[in-house]
């Protein structure tokens, strides 16, 4: 999905297994909590930033697996708003890595367009330093017309802050638009990320959501795996998909939205586009 300097081709067994699994149900939206980068680095006696760099390489590899399995939407938990509490040197290293990768992706827009990859930034983008915010906004704006794959990068994100933002928007809208019906469906659609994942995978053995997509994952199947994120292999991923295929079929019926609710969501999308534009200045 992301252009890579050196394509890492999975083994023939991995490709064969992926082909076989595609005969069954494959989720069309998978979310990843990429946990364990620092513990991976500590195990090798390296600094945490080394773990995060390995983590980014693993992300590019995992996205290529998702492309091979024809999974059109992927969401990743890149940086929590709580991670700003980490030592400043580590936060600066992560921001520097993010800046470098966003600029690299901006330079490869043609390849992103060829693959049809849309990149969206999900979170409190205002909290990011301006030299990270600006390329992030530019990347989202320049890939918004790409339709084949969607990569949602949760950065400076927590689910509770996302919910507070949705509550503010709905409270403001209910004051200006009398008769707007506020229900859980409209709350979900007011979140930064409105499309729910079918499968959530967390690495490193921790069995919790850590304030990630709490509202979107209410009906998702959640798979906790032991390997650290940089150690996550194609076979671990295929194992999660095998387990996913064994679960009972899920129903995804949604009540149709009213005209006022649709109008409110259109205005929300427009204000988001304006906000992104303001970050580019």
Partner 1 sequence: MASRRSRYFGIVQVLLLYLIHFAVSCFSWFFKIVRRLNPFKSSKLSNKFYQSPEHVALVSYKNSLIDSSQMREIALELLQRGCKKISIWDPDRRMEKSKIDWSELNCRVLTPKNGGSTVSDSIKRMKASSVSVREVNVELLDHFIGPNGEEPELLLCCGALDLVSTKGYPPWALRLTTIYPLPSPYSKSQVNEVLSRYSTVSQRYGK
Write out the residues near partner 1 by the rule CB under 8 A. 17, 19-24, 80-83, 85-86, 159-161, 163-164, 166-168, 170-172, 174-175, 182-184, 186-187, 206-211, 214-215, 217-224, 240, 242-248
**CB of residue 18 to partner 1, shortest distance in Å:** 11
What is the rounded CA–CA span in Å between residue 232 and residue 18? Answer: 16
> What is the chain's Cα-based Rg?
19
**CB of residue 144 to partner 1, shortest distance in Å:** 27
Q: Answer whether 46's CB lies under 8 Å from 5's CB.
A: no
**CB of residue 141 to partner 1, shortest distance in Å:** 26
- Residue closer to partner 1, measured from CB, 10 or 135: 10
Containing 202, the helix (H) or strand (E) segment is strand 199-202
What is the rounded CA–CA span in Å between residue 221 and residue 205? Answer: 16
- Residue closer to partner 1, measured from CB, 110 or 179: 179
**CB of residue 257 to partner 1, shortest distance in Å:** 14
**CB of residue 21 to partner 1, shortest distance in Å:** 7
* 3-class SS string, 174-190: HHHCCCCCCCHHHHHHC
What is the rounded CA–CA span in Å between residue 241 and residue 223? Answer: 9
**CB of residue 151 to partner 1, shortest distance in Å:** 23
Dihedral sign (CA 256, 148, 95, 222): positive
- Residue closer to partner 1, measured from CB, 3 or 239: 239
Q: Answer whether 97's CB lies under 8 Å from 173's CB.
A: no
DSSP string, 227-250: S-GGG--HHHHHHHHHHHHHSPPP
Please give the structure tokens belonging to residue 172: 């403001």
- Residue closer to partner 1, measured from CB, 222 or 268: 222
- Residue closer to partner 1, measured from CB, 141 or 174: 174
């Amino acid at each position: 999905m992301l252009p890579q300097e050196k394509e890492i081709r999975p083994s023939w067994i991995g490709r064969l297994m992926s082909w076989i699994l595609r005969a069954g149900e494959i989720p069309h939206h998978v979310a990843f909590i990429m946990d364990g980068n620092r513990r991976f680095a500590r195990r090798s006696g390296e600094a945490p930033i080394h773990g995060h760099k390995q983590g980014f390489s693993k992300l590019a590899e995992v996205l290529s697996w998702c492309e091979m399995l024809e999974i059109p939407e992927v969401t990743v938990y890149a940086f929590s708003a709580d991670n700003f509490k980490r030592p400043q040197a580590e936060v600066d290293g992560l921001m520097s890595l993010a800046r470098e990768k966003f600029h690299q992706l901006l330079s490869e827009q043609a390849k992103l367009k060829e693959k049809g990859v849309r990149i969206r930034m999900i979170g409190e983008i205002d909290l990011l330093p301006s030299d990270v915010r600006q390329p992030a906004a530019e990347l989202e704006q320049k890939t918004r017309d790409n339709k084949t794959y969607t990569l949602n990068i949760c950065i400076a994100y927590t689910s509770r802050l996302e919910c507070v933002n949705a509550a503010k928007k709905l409270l403001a809208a209910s004051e200006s638009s009398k008769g707007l019906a506020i229900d859980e469906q409209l709350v979900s659609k007011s979140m930064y990320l409105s499309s729910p994942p079918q499968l959530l995978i967390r690495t490193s053995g921790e069995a919790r959501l850590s304030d990630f997509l709490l509202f979107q994952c209410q009906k998702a199947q959640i798979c906790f795996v032991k390997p650290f994120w940089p150690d996550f292999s194609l076979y671990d991923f295929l194992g999660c998909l095998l387990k996913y295929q064994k679960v009972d079929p899920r129903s995804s019926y949604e009540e149709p939205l009213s005209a006022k609710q649709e109008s409110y969501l259109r205005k929300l999308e427009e204000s988001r586009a304006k906000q992104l534009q303001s970050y580019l200045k």
